[in-house]
Amino acid sequence: MPARSLCQNFLNNILAPLHLYRQKSLIDATNAVINGASLTLTSIGRHLTGTASVKNKIKRVDRLLGNRHLQNEVSTIFQRITQKITRECLVL
């Protein structure tokens, strides 16, 4: 299964409480890192898929990282990721 599909399947329930645009942007940024981007704003923007210009992709990542709502939700996201991983480990 491609990394994008695995990433989307894993993150869909975790990111459910978030605004739909933030969900999509986080999944796209995660896929950019999986596809070789380093953990810098510019690199993530350059590795985003799509037809937009590189300038617009970098701007999209900048807006995502600067989003105050996302910054307020970071602890909830980490908590939900941890819960999902630990539940799946208990099943194994």
User: Distance between CA 1 and CA 71 in Å, rounded?
Assistant: 31
List the single range of 2-6, 40-44, 82-86 with lowest mean pLDDT.
Answer: 2-6
CB of 24 within 8 A of CB of 48? no
**Best CA proximity match to 42, nearest among 33, 50, 31:** 33
Question: Whole-prediction pTM value?
Answer: 0.83
Per-residue pLDDT for 10 more than 90?
no
Please, which pLDDT band fits residue 49 given cuts at 50, 70 and 90?
very high
